[in-house]
Each structure stands twice: as C-alpha cells, then as structure tokens.
Amino acid sequence: MSLKSFGAKILAKKTVKKIQRWATNPVETQERVFSRLISKAENTQFGIDHRFAEIASPRDFAEKVPIRDYEDLRSYIESVVAGEEDILWPGKPLYLAKTSGTTSGAKYIPLTKASMPSHIEAARNALLCYINETENEKFVDGKMIFLQGSPEMSEKNGIKQGRLSGIVAHFVPGYLLKNRLPSWETNCIEDWETKVDAIVEETTNEDMTVISGIHSWVQ
C-alpha cells in the first residue's frame, strides 16, 4: 500500500463520519442551511424583491419565491453579467459558467466564492465514500481521466467566464495533479474529435484507474 492510498483510506473514514453526523439529522441540517442562505441573501436585489427579511420557514419561502425557469431569472442574470453587485448573492460572483444552452442561446450560471468549495468537496467526497464502502483505495495510485471542457477563460466586467467543468479544473487538489490526465494542453483543445484523439494518445500506455466527466462525454 502506497502512502497516498494509505492516506486516502484514513481520510475516507474521517469524511464519512463527518457526513454521517449531519446525514442522521437531515431536517435539522436542511433548516440550518436554509436559514443561513436566507440571512446571507437578505440584502441582495433578489432578496429585497422577494422580501427575504420576512421569510422564517420553507413555507414562507414557497409563498414568496415562485418556481421559475431561466427566462424568468434573466433580468437578474443580465445584471450580474453586466458587473453589478449584490444581485443574487452578496458582491460579485467569482466566475460565470457559460452553457451552450439547447434553447434561447447561451446561459450563465453565477459561481460564488461561497459555492465553489461545494463543487470540489462533492467530487472528492464521492471518491472517499466509494473508498470507505468498498475498501478499494488502490485506484488513487493510478492515473485518472477527467473529461471536461476547456479550462481557458475569458473575462468581462471583472468576472471570468468559462465552462463549468473547465472552471472546476482550476481547483483540482494538488495531491491529484500528478495522477491527472489528460494534460492541460489537451484539455484546452476545443474540437471534440481532435481532443479525443489526443486523449487516446496520452493514455494508451498508462495505468488508468478512474474516468470521470460529463456522462454523455464519458459514454
């Protein structure tokens, strides 16, 4: 057993115990998160428009914040993209994830400083839960493919823009960088067929133990 796989096994046990603490009290956990989010967003434009200051329960929220689609939120999103602060969340987002959108063109998803750790921890914890459940930690010693969009980003109105999977690539933990494939240069290739050919070339002779990415790409 390598030092890395040994450490992964210990971290897996600690992480699962931590998850179990809040998972055994799901209602209490959700209420705590709900209250924190409402309080934090109370003075944003969205919070003011929907009277967050008067919301004390999920029932209040359901009454004041109707279900809607992206188009119903477009005016708020456009203000965020324009660089305005305190619209949907305090301050400006760190990034704007841009989706190709099958309808109504491109869509933007604000990624805040508060939300980024959740994206990273969710992926990490999925692997750690697998290790804890199966006791198979040896895969961390092999190479791992992360199929994703280009990590290259543009910037507009002081906010970096890019594909969500590409943005997350900037936050890969240091202990996984040596195991990670394809290379940064290959991930930056925009043409999908060219990218796949480059990935095959890089991984053919490697000990690949994990493949991860958008499910339609992985297929």
What tens-digit pLDDT sequence spans the chain (219 residues)?
A: 788 889 999 999 999 999 999 999 999 999 999 999 999 999 999 999 999 999 999 999 999 999 999 999 999 999 999 999 999 999 999 999 998 766 667 899 999 999 998 888 988 899 999 999 999 999 999 999 888 888 999 999 999 999 988 898 888 877 778 889 999 999 999 898 999 999 999 999 999 998 887 766 676
CB 41 within 8 A of CB 90: yes
Q: What residues pair up with 210 in beta bridges, in sequence order?
A: 144
**pLDDT (0 to 100) of residue 3:** 87
Rounded CA separation 155/31 (Å): 36
Q: Are 184 and 135 in contact (CB under 8 A)?
A: no
Q: From residue 53, how far is each of 28, 50, 72, 125, 180 by CA, in Å?
A: 21, 9, 22, 34, 45
DSSP class of residue 44 equals S
Q: Which helix (H) or strand (E) holds 210?
A: strand 208-213
Amino acid 173: pLDDT:
79
Q: What is the pTM of this model?
A: 0.84
DSSP assignment letter at 180:
E
Question: Where would I find the beta strands (DSSP E) of 54-179?
Answer: 95-99, 107-111, 143-147, 154-156, 159-162
pLDDT at residue 61, as a whole number:
98
CB atoms within 10 A of CB 204: 8
Token reading at 98: 């841009």
pLDDT of residue 102: 62
